[in-house]
């Protein structure tokens, strides 16, 4: 079992609050390897896993790494895949997070079709936000009556956005709904996004953040300095306090908080 999972398991069982766990790796490829080690072990020890995937570019290298691990079909059968956000485009559009995930992961692994719960970006956004919230309500296991992901994977934009909640739409984070319609501040592209309500109710949240362009916001958020409160990514604080950051060295370069 990878050392990170041991530490997290130890932390959880000792009920000492795990405020934030940082796993800093030299390269983007090593981030992909360390995260894959962590996920492969989680899939081994859990009877089932409901995972929300992130979009954008960083997951590509992680999905390629996962696909290269030849994880047995019996373990993929335990996994249900969802998306934390999707662009309101057709599923074969180059902008589609679903398409990216199929190309880099789903087309290369043995996971049952019925375990894949995609956001239908082609639907009318308002209708799709409601439809997907119903899917989450119906398919996810409940904790204290609320649907819970076992793992939510998030990225972070250079502006501090996460999922598709942008600094210009912080109100969406505090929504009472599980899913909302968002709008990209520059392109105006409509997005479907899960909200803070279900993100912070997850058993574990893992950020995958790489690249120099992210260093400033990562440091502000982790060091709780500057304008960190204006960045949606700073609001990620799972009730379980199981928050993991998988970073490469350049993304972590400005952090001043002592990393254990």
State residue 225 phi and psi, 5-degree precision.
Answer: -135, 175
Out of 157, 160, 232, 238, which residue is the one contacting ligand 6PG (CB under 6 A)?
157
**57 interacts with ligand 6PG by CB under 6 A:** yes
Beta bridge partners of 162: 165
User: Are residues 112 and 124 in contact, defined by beta-carbon separation less than 8 angstroms?
Assistant: no
Q: Shortest Cβ distance from residue 114 to ligand 6PG (Å)? A: 24
**91 interacts with ligand 6PG by CB under 6 A:** no
**196 interacts with ligand 6PG by CB under 6 A:** no
Q: Shortest Cβ distance from residue 191 to ligand 6PG (Å)? A: 7
By rule CB under 6 A, what count of residues binds ligand 6PG?
14
Please, which residue, 163 or 178, has the CB nearer to ligand 6PG?
163
| Number of residues written out for the chain | 260
Q: Shortest Cβ distance from residue 73 to ligand 6PG (Å)? A: 28
Q: Shortest Cβ distance from residue 49 to ligand 6PG (Å)? A: 19
Rounded Cα–Cα distance for residues 174 and 164 (Å):
13
Helix (H, G, I), strand (E, B) or coil at 164: coil
User: Are residues 232 and 173 in contact, defined by beta-carbon separation less than 8 angstroms?
Assistant: yes
User: Are residues 83 and 53 in contact, defined by beta-carbon separation less than 8 angstroms?
Assistant: yes
Structure tokens at 162: 């996460």
Out of 2, 135, 136, 163, which residue is the one contacting ligand 6PG (CB under 6 A)?
163
Please, which residue, 60 or 197, has the CB nearer to ligand 6PG?
60
Rounded Cα–Cα distance for residues 75 and 72 (Å):
6
Rounded Cα–Cα distance for residues 125 and 191 (Å):
7
Please, which residue, 46 or 253, has the CB nearer to ligand 6PG?
253
Rounded Cα–Cα distance for residues 239 and 198 (Å):
10
The stretch near ligand 6PG (CB under 6 A) out of 15-23, 120-128, 139-147, 162-170 is 162-170
Q: Shortest Cβ distance from residue 164 to ligand 6PG (Å)? A: 6
Structure tokens at 15: 């009920």
Please give the residue ranges that form the binding site for ligand 6PG (CB under 6 A): 54-58, 85, 97, 155-157, 161-164
């Amino acid at each position: 079992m990878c050392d990170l999972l041991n530490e997290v398991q130890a932390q959880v069982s000792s009920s000492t609050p795990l405020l934030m766990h940082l796993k800093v790796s030299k390269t983007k490829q090593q981030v992909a390897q360390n995260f894959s080690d962590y996920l492969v072990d989680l899939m081994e020890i859990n009877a089932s896993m409901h995972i929300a995937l992130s979009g954008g570019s960083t997951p590509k290298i992680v999905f390629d790494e996962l696909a290269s691990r030849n994880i047995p079909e019996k373990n993929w059968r335990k996994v249900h895949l969802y998306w934390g956000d999707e662009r309101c485009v057709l599923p074969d559009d180059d902008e589609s997070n679903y398409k990216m995930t199929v190309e880099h992961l789903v087309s290369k692994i043995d996971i049952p079709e019925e375990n894949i719960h995609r956001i239908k970006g082609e639907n009318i956004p308002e209708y799709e936000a409601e439809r997907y919230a119903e899917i989450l309500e119906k398919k996810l296991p409940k904790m204290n009556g609320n649907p819970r992901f076992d793992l939510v994977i998030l990225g972070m934009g250079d502006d501090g956005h996460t999922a598709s909640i942008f600094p210009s739409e912080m109100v969406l984070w505090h929504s009472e709904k599980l899913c909302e319609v968002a709008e990209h501040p520059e392109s105006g592209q409509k997005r479907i996004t899960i909200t803070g309500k279900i993100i912070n109710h997850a058993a574990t949240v893992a950020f995958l953040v790489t690249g120099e362009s992210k260093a400033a916001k990562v440091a502000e958020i982790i060091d709780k300095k500057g304008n960190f409160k204006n960045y949606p990514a700073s609001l990620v604080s799972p009730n379980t306090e199981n928050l993991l950051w998988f970073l490469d060295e350049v993304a972590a370069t400005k952090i001043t908080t002592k990393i254990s």
